[in-house]
Structure 1
């Protein structure tokens, strides 16, 4: 072995703070140390050479033959014959040449490269890239410094390259030239064609693809799907990486049954604020003969620095608007991501200091009406201003531990008057002021607790004289309640395993006197859902316009099994029932008083005996009729990675009865043994997976929503085919079929089936996961 240029590194490399070039070697993101060293300094770095025979001068040209090798920091050159000029750094290699630069390997018959400047060329090479496992070959490769490589008449893929002279991967990019830019971590292919299984599927004058997971400006893979409602949909998005904290995407979509839709998204991020704007516009929709558009805007902002020792003033903006009432039905998957026909719009401010907080805002709804199924929209709040004070653990009456709170709110309510779901041009509404004061204290010790609470709810109304309500009114309603419980524990053993078993009885009493509220408007009150939480609540209604005269006692008991080692809950069983001590006469509009003394019985249970599976059950049982009014049964089985089965049965007597199934399962696990997971690569190549979710209406005997398909993992690419059916009304549905090819480290081509699967399949696992970024020593020579 011979070292040219000295046997040790220059002194500045040993003490980076001492030499004149110390500042020049500070690392930047994604760069190695040698990339920051100036060329003049690189000439001082030692060069190590090997060979069966060496000829030449120390300060001139040296020729190595027979197992020749030249090594200099991050570059290794091996060949049958190497000729190196110490004065210029020019190096020629012939016969079985291998060049390794920071883990990127190039092999071929002959090459010339300057080890100081990293400029040179390689004839007829094969290459493999470290970061994304990209592989290829070419007529010639030009090295253009540390960060750029130009591939001429090349092929590129991330599929494995088996030993041998032939290589025809499942997918490949052919191009007249491919520029590999390590600064931007992007590859740019000119006159490129993507072939899959030997069939060209995409061609373009310029194709760009990532060499890492960094963002880059360029065309994103097109998306193709077939829909019964819109026809063939072809989207060709383009991404703009404006700055590290700004980006935008523009997506033209051609729908054969509708026309051209142009959508876009702009995102921004700053230390004090963040947000995104999404828009969509389709001129002259063929199906509706009208222009269609949608806008969705989110913004969160800290307007100031902390004020007076409190928090900054916070701003929240959430705006949603579409062109017409049919938008939710015609474009169910667009930028608004509609799951209902109510589009929320708000602009709100907030500030707090210690126990004090102030908030205010404007809140409006756009209601998308259906003449066959009109809905009553909620009232807009224009504006709503709130003030609250919460101070826990205060000393009152000589005793600590009292929790005090006071909340106030002033709101202007307004809503258009509808006729058959169509606005009439008239509006109704009014002003409401609310104040709620509360005091509570919790006494507790091991095994028991008692929490008394007192509350006063005050409201004042000033209403428009178009509602049939009194023009002005006030209401004051006091409430007292006491919550108490016991906790018993004992050791237990089931099936040879030790547990801690608990028995937890609970009693809750509440008393609210009757106040006639039938003449008051109802702006925001609604019935609470029947569940364990609502049975132990003071009032039967949410909101502030109806305070129920609930005079009742709720009794419940639950029992749990806890793992004696980890404390994890294995089993929970509970039952609760409420008894009215007097009729509940306060009702919602058009409601009837509650005279039944005993409520339905709530039975709830959860079992997770093993981490692989879990069962949940909730039953609302009427003891008088001896039947269940509402039942929900659910279970999930997850025996391993990429295996999940979930099922839920929901029935509400006289309303609905549905069965919900979801799954992700490797097909090899059905007929045989499932392979062990491969880090970042699911269960390895050659695996088929079934995936989907379906919702079935049992009374109608038909499927409501369906997402079902298959995934195939070939190792260097993933394939998906998904059938999607979404109900858009009681009589109509939209059906789509989506195909997708995902080339590892390159792009996704096809419909957005992955997005549809991730949004609908419970506990779905993506077949590719992030792994530790490779370093150059993983392909060390």
Structure 2
């Protein structure tokens, strides 16, 4: 037989207290009667949890096989003892509850469940409401992040803070085997848990991985949630043939919810000591970040080294329109900085594009918009980090650029109008250019009238482009200024036919979409004009239906051509998803194109290459995209790209691409490359394990990588090959990376990373995760699929 007793706080008025005592006595009598009538029942039903409220006003329920005591003084419980108040439940073999002191003493098999956090031990002395006291020989499990461990003694400071003595901490999931040992565990003489700050702090700690101590520290702090916190971040270790042993130890400062800073002292045994800093801020109307990397004395270069960066965006509202400001500036101390300190100070670093690290902008943009008008003032000045063995031509500086545009939302008779005016002062290093600097002004007016129906569209467009150049030195003809005015007419039209179709047992909505685009621009000799911001556009399905085959404003092609194309698509009638897309397009030129980029011959072919495109996404798992540029005169493809992708599940992706490029001019290099990328469980690739086996073993190996192979050279251009292991509580990555940095140079390195869930991420060398995300197509970061727990998952 079990007894249940309800206790109320001692501070209510005496009359209310007497009424509650009477109700408690009635509850006792009812409970005894129910037990007597229902002898087959083993225990009384659990009482429903009280409505939320202050813990000191909630009633206390105790029950057990034998309950005795004195009203408002104490309660003694023997056998299956239980005390419940709000979200706190205490189980024990024996329990004494001191009512005036709100103090519970329990022994035997003691278990506490407070809001889903569990504590098991042998001896408990606890003030229930304040949740202060001690617990001996304890095993604990935290609900929010899955952390658990044991301790010889745990002192509860209050409801949110506790201190474990001779304790351990891990997030590895415990199985039912008696010999189970966590893959990693943090053992400490003193372990403090603070749920207010969501941090854990260990004193005199040792971190063990697979039973081997890998880190000993007198003090370490770690997060108990994803909440930001001030403290040390995981260090980075590296071994470089030039810089020697590298140790970087970042310290994070959580200044406010909208501001933070990171300071990273870095030791390079062959160079010296440096400091990397980053400050970030975010306000409702502005935000940005500041960075400075500084090494006061580089022993190898015999000078101080630095890299400074500024990013800032701001938006100011006014009665006259929105005013915006953006700044993006980076500057380095010397030309060798990009080579000596790769990936430093650049969050968008791409190892396949070394030029991006050698061109550092200082870009300031002030813009205003009001109604249909926009106005911007921009200055852009480049710092070019030159390499004597591989010099690059720096872009022109814009000092400044003033641009105005006007695009009314609606005009009469369905007309669309857009006006653009621009004045730019181009300034460049004359040692790199065989042309003068210039001030260029242009005005572009575009007027169009689209006629749109569900089955067709026709859009005639008129464009007038007026340009004037003023040079700081005479041209070869002696001119110091040149003016150019060119009109352009274009007519874009298309039809859309639809029908129901059935292919390979599936119903589709099939479309047939023929398109015709005509454009005419008269010839004006532009060979004397320098080139400041123009380039030949790529030949693809987007550019083939445009008026100008050049980007920028220094060249306007003299076109008299007609582009014909047709596209057919298979659409899922239920979702509208595109399963198949096939297209073909070709230009028919009625006269030669005489305006070209410097060094390029006129275009005399009246029939352009044929563009063929296909996209097949029959199922969400499979995908195929292909584009061919076929020369009918030579009967061969000038360029081809074929890319296939297979993604049957998460962390399962295979991609294969073939790219071919023939020589089409002085700016194009012939190449044929095969690109293979993958992320796949190794056990499935080798047919050694399946999903259920991997889950039972508690972990899984993944192969990941990308290989780019040049067929003409018969060699690997870029290669990233690695392996990842995902367990319940840790993830390991080993990556071998070889990336081409020049025509005859490459960079090879080994990247290691150990990510301990709920504790830290340790890296040797640079971050392999960033390398995989940037270079492996379709790569997905290994993450836990466990949903955020609710305290009712451990309801007691």
The alpha-carbon deviation at position 518 of structure 1 amounts to 2.0
Q: TM-score, normalised by structure 1?
A: 0.90
The reply to whether residue 764 of structure 1 matches residue 765 of structure 2 is no
In the TM superposition, residue 262 of structure 1 has moved relative to its aligned partner by: 2.4
Residue 233 of structure 1 corresponds to 246
The 2-side partners of 1:403 and 1:9 are apart by 77
Equivalent-residue separation in structure 2 for 1:523 and 1:580 (angstroms) = 28
Map of 1:607-756 to 2, 5 A cutoff? 607-654=616-663, 655=669, 656-672=671-687, 685-751=698-764, 752-756=767-771
How far apart are 1:589 and its partner, in Å? 2.3
What is the rounded CA distance, in whole Å, between the counterparts of 2:405 and 2:330 in structure 1? 29
2:12 maps to 1:2: no
User: 516-525 or 470-479: which moved more?
Assistant: 516-525
Distance in 1 of aligned mates of 2:121 and 2:462:
85
> Mean alpha-carbon deviation: is it higher for 161-170 or for 761-770?
161-170
Q: What SS does the aligned partner of 1:369 have?
A: coil
- Whether 1:604 aligns to 2:613 is yes
Corresponding position: 1:473 with 2:482: yes
Question: Any stretches of 5+ residues in structure 1 without a counterpart?
Answer: 11-32
Does residue 430 (structure 1) correspond to residue 446 (structure 2)? The answer is: no
- CA distance in 1 between partners of 2:502 and 2:636 (Å): 34
User: Does the alignment pair 1:221 with 2:231?
Assistant: no
Give the structure 2 partner of residue 489 of structure 1.
Answer: 498
Q: Which residue of 2 aligns with 1:457?
A: 465
Is it true that 1:514 corresponds to 2:527 in the alignment? no
Aligned counterparts of 1:653 and 1:9: Cα–Cα separation in 2: 91
Q: TM-score, normalised by structure 2?
A: 0.89
Matches of 2:415 and 2:200, distance apart in 1? 65
Alpha-carbon deviation of 1:502? 1.8
Q: Which residue of 1 aligns with 2:42?
A: none
In the TM superposition, residue 7 of structure 1 has moved relative to its aligned partner by: 12
User: Within 1, Cα distance between the matches of 2:56 and 2:376?
Assistant: 66
Structure 1 match to 2:395: 378
Whole-angstrom distance in 2 between the partners of 1:255 and 1:635: 44
Alpha-carbon offset, residue 701 of structure 1: 2.2
Pick closer, same or farther for the CA change 1:9–1:371 going to 2, 3 Å: farther
Pair 1:183-2:186 in alignment:
no
Q: What is the rounded CA distance, in whole Å, between the counterparts of 2:299 and 2:739 in structure 1? A: 22
Q: Which residue matches 1:582?
A: 591
Give the aligned partner of residue 121 of structure 1. 134
1:151-193 C-alpha deviation (Å, 9 max, x unpaired): 1111111112345776531111111101100110000001111
C-alpha distance in 2 between matches for 1:293 and 1:660: 37
Q: CA deviation at 1:446?
A: 2.9
Matching of residue 343 in structure 1 with residue 346 in structure 2:
no
SS at match of 2:770: helix
Q: Give the whole-Å Cα distance in 2 for the aligned partners of 1:199 and 1:193.
A: 10
**Match of 1:447?**
455
User: What's the secondary structure of 1:125's corresponding residue?
Assistant: strand
The count of residues paired between Structure 1 and Structure 2 equals: 742
1:618 Cα offset (Å): 1.0
Structural mapping, 1:111-150, within 5 Å: 111-150=124-163
Residue of 263, 270, 293 corresponding to 2:306: 293
Contact in 1 for aligned 2:228/2:254 (Cα 8 Å)? yes
Cross-structure match for 1:774? 789
Asked if the contact 1:228/1:736 (under 8 Å) is kept, the reply is no
Alpha-carbon distance change, 87 to 281 in structure 1, aligned in 2, over 3 angstroms = same
1:355 to 347, 353, 372: 372
Is the 1:470–1:519 Cα contact (8 Å) retained in structure 2?
Answer: no
Equivalent residue runs for 1:28-39 within 5 Å: none
C-alpha offsets along residues 591-642 of structure 1, whole Å, 9 cap, x if unaligned?
3222221211111111111111111111111111112211111111101111
| Shift in Å, 1:768 | 0.9
Kindly provide the CA deviation profile for residues 82-131 of structure 1, in whole angstroms up to 9, marking residues without a partner as x: 11111111110111011122221111110100012111001111111111
Cα distance change of structure 1 residues 691 and 634 upon mapping to structure 2, 3 Å threshold: same
Aligned partners of 1:493 and 1:285: how far apart in 2?
Answer: 70
Deviation at 1:416?
0.9
Which sits farther off after the overlay, 669-678 or 683-692? 669-678
- Superposed CA RMSD in Å reads 2.6
- Matched position secondary structure for 1:545: coil
Provide the C-alpha distance between the structure 1 equivalents of 2:50 and 2:163, rounded to a whole number of angstroms: 21
Do the aligned residues in 2 keep the contact of 1:225 with 1:737 (CA within 8 Å)?
A: no
* Partner SS, residue 339 of structure 2: helix
Distance in 2 (alpha carbons) for counterparts of 1:289 and 1:673: 56
Once the two structures are superposed, the pairs formed by residues 75-86 of structure 1 within 5 Å of their partners are: 75-86=88-99
Structure 1 SS opposite 2:317? coil
Instruction: After TM superposition, give the deviation of residue 231 of structure 1 in Å.
Output: 4.5
**Aligned match for 1:103, one of 98, 109, 116:** 116
Distance 1:318 1:537, change over 3 A: same
SS for the counterpart of 2:618 is strand
Structure 2 unaligned blocks of 5 or more: 14-48, 664-668
Aligned to 2:562, the other structure's residue is in SS state strand
